[in-house]
Structure 1
Amino acid sequence: MEWFTARGHQATVLTVEPTQEVHHFRQIDLSCSYGGRKIGRMVSAARLAYAVRCMRPDVVHAHYLKGLAWGIPLARFCPIVVTPWGSDVLEEQGAFKEWYSWSLTQKVFASADLVVVHSKYMEGRISPLLSKGVRVVRVGWGINLQTFKPGLDVETLRQRWNIGRDQQVIFSPRLAQPCYRHDLIIRAFSLIQKESPRVVLVIPEQFPDIEYVCKLRRLISTLNLGDHVRFTGSIPYSDMPLWMNLASIMVMVPQSDGMPNTLWEAMACGALPVLNRLPQYAEVIEDGINGLL
């Protein structure tokens, strides 16, 4: 969004989770605080359609297709581009837990003038949801190489989190939710730690499943890893380049995934990606060359 505004375009984010950071683009909060989660999502979707009707923009880009974006079929007054995330379309990530999710997501795709995906794998997974004739293009993620780059000063992080200069860091950056299997990473780390006692595991608590985080803490206590694991709370995105620089290894072993930007960001900062062998990861990582599968 900042890229567009820097080039003179007017850009507006319609969201239910407005950020508190200062931006050059406008944000409109469409969240609904009444009626519970399901009704609230539908109200927000209707608000989205109304906002688009009032604004009549040159183009709408729907990024995340569940919930708020379900209002897109009611807002067909301009070209529409949609970009699905894994959690939008992968059943193993709970994409269609509600009985109505498949139908509403399918209608969003049907309303699109263009569908953008980030991997060959995702292109295959969305095909059952697409109407005949919907145009799909594959566009790889881009990152800001002025922000995500090696050589950043991480001394402040080391001091704040009591990580010595002689200690290497393994960073598990994904959301603190069961599908990202931080518990498996912790169990593997316990074996590594026996061989390399000075290694530290860092786990952020982004959008945490509280019950799952409590389970992780109990596991760490059971394995006597309390002195070797850092839970950092939610990390601001602006701090991610520092953590990626601090990390020697960035590890991700989800049961399922789309194509996370985290992978590109870690590689740009010099962290070695260690991943489970998902087909979408194999589109980017050649085992033993630019990472480990």
Structure 2
Amino acid sequence: MDKSVPLSHQSSEMKKILFLAWGYSIHAQRRMQIFVDDPLFDVTIVSTYNYQFPGATIILLSQAHKKQNFERSSHHPAIHKILYPVSLFLKFIQELINIVRDYFILKKTIEQKRPDVIFLQTLMYPCYLILLIRKIAPVIITFWNGDVTWWAKWTGIERLLKKQIIISGIKKASAITVNSIEAKNACIHYGKTAKCIHLIRYPGVDISRFHPIDKASAKIYIGQNAQKIIFWPRGIADYLNFDTLVAASQIVLKKYSNVHFIVLFANKEVDISVHEKLKVKGIEKNYTLLSKIQFEDMPYYYSAANMMISISSNDSLPNTMLEAMACGCPLIMGDIPQIRSWVIDGKNGYLCHVKDAEKLAECIIKVIENPQNINERFILENLTLIKQEVESSKMSKEIKKLVTNVSLKTTELI
């Protein structure tokens, strides 16, 4: 293929692309949106969630529909004890039925649509069903959320199975996209040649959406008037080390009582337990717990905040980090290899050990006190980094070029 020829002229035919996506994910939605918005691609999405893209064909799998409920009832404890194993067995049978049903839905869709490329957003369910289907179009896999760097590590029966899925998927893929050198090396370790693995950090950051907004205006927009705001946007799963933040906040609030923490996570039941924990510690008034923030509102939260904190024990390339950078929000990140590729301690943010509450408190206080206007240097460094490395229009061109080349069976890239 002549690389000097623009992509749109390399093949005048519309490319048919079939996406397999797990549940709802804003990341998967934004990645698929790139192709839905391009008239050169005919997009079909097979998922357990109805993404409702205008112009795309949406095929819903079993979990998108209401399933039979075998959850715990209000039976007497003795009766529940007897019925619980039965309910587990019924759930297992229902899951098997769903898997078989979804397999045939996917197989039929592929036969009818005859896509040029099948694009998997991770190898979580239902994406790994593709491994059961023979004689299909070329497969591209985008690995994310640490799929190959920590999700597939062998630490028991469950992860052993996941590891085998990853290995099988890597072998079947015509091309793989990753967002970090570490993930690329992991794919090579699992047996894929380097020329098949592409470091494309799509969808990237849309700097027309994510950019600095006047702090006072942003605070008004999100309804917060605290003098200092700390944004924690990634949830409270164990690997995110929310307990470290809580412990650090107790230290910080002894010195700066006007600091407010905004915590985002998508679980209302957890909301109650977390609020009770904060109440016991006497700091619940310094926390706002949000189960959801609209995507279009995220730039206002980054801009209103004095810092964004994410101290995950395992990571790949968190979009929240990139978005915060683009919005001029200083960062405190976990001191782990994947993050060190983007944040240099004291140069464009702060790094701290993910379990060290005292160190985290020290970093928070540094951002609050802003010695020698270091925050402003962080902001300038990060704005430049985003424009150079992950600006969305560049990333979109790269991923579209890869898909087109794979569909044309271009050996040079596959």
Call closer, same or farther: CA 1:233–1:287 in 2, change over 3 Å. same
Quick one: which amino acid aligns to residue 198 of structure 2? V
Instruction: State the match for 1:108 in structure 2.
Output: 169
User: How many residues align structurally?
Assistant: 286
8 Å Cα contact 1:53/1:75 also seen in 2 = no
**% of aligned pairs identical?**
20
Residues in 1 aligned to 2:283 and 2:103: alpha-carbon distance in whole angstroms? 45
8 Å Cα contact 1:42/1:68 also seen in 2 = no
Quick one: which amino acid aligns to residue 244 of structure 1? Y
Residues in 2 aligned to 1:126 and 1:215: alpha-carbon distance in whole angstroms? 39
8 Å Cα contact 2:152/2:162 also seen in 1 = no
8 Å Cα contact 2:152/2:163 also seen in 1 = no
Is there any run of 5+ residues in structure 2 with no aligned partner, and where?
A: 1-31, 69-89, 352-414
Q: Structure 2 residue aligned with 1:236, among 294, 307, 326?
A: 294
Deviations 1:187-237 (A, max 9, x none): 11121122221111011122x3945x5543233112211110000112222
Greater displacement, 4-13 / 34-43: 34-43
Instruction: State the match for 1:86 in structure 2.
Output: 145
Call closer, same or farther: CA 1:176–1:279 in 2, change over 3 Å. same
SS at match of 1:100: helix
Instruction: State the match for 2:370 in structure 1.
Output: none
8 Å Cα contact 1:113/1:134 also seen in 2 = no
SS at match of 1:154: helix
| Pairing 1:133-282 to 2, within 5 Å after superposition | 135-141=196-202, 142-151=204-213, 153-159=217-223, 163-164=224-225, 166-206=226-266, 208=267, 210=269, 213-282=271-340
Deviations 1:152-202 (A, max 9, x none): 64244443xxx21x5221111113322211121121112112222111101
Greater displacement, 190-199 / 120-129: 120-129
8 Å Cα contact 1:65/1:85 also seen in 2 = no
> How does the TM-score come out when normalised to structure 1?
0.85
Quick one: which amino acid aligns to residue 154 of structure 1? A
Residues in 1 aligned to 2:127 and 2:276: alpha-carbon distance in whole angstroms? 38
Is there any run of 5+ residues in structure 1 with no aligned partner, and where?
A: none
Call closer, same or farther: CA 1:46–1:221 in 2, change over 3 Å. farther
SS at match of 2:277: helix
Quick one: which amino acid aligns to residue 48 of structure 2? V
Which structure: larger Rg?
Answer: 2
8 Å Cα contact 1:169/1:202 also seen in 2 = yes
SS at match of 1:144: coil
Residues in 2 aligned to 1:94 and 1:156: alpha-carbon distance in whole angstroms? 45
SS at match of 2:285: coil
> How does the TM-score come out when normalised to structure 2?
0.62
Greater displacement, 55-64 / 269-278: 55-64
Deviations 1:85-142 (A, max 9, x none): 2353344688972553222222221111111110112223334433567711212341
Deviations 1:241-273 (A, max 9, x none): 221122121101111111111111111111111
Quick one: which amino acid aligns to residue 46 of structure 2? L
| Structure with greater helix percent | 2
- Give the drift of 1:49: 3.9
Q: Structure 2 residue aligned with 1:13, among 29, 42, 45?
A: 45
8 Å Cα contact 1:42/1:67 also seen in 2 = no
Q: What is the RMSD computed on CA atoms of the aligned residues?
A: 2.8
Residues in 2 aligned to 1:156 and 1:14: alpha-carbon distance in whole angstroms? 40
Call closer, same or farther: CA 1:134–1:101 in 2, change over 3 Å. farther
SS at match of 2:45: strand
* Matching of residue 77 in structure 1 with residue 129 in structure 2: no
Call closer, same or farther: CA 1:191–1:3 in 2, change over 3 Å. same
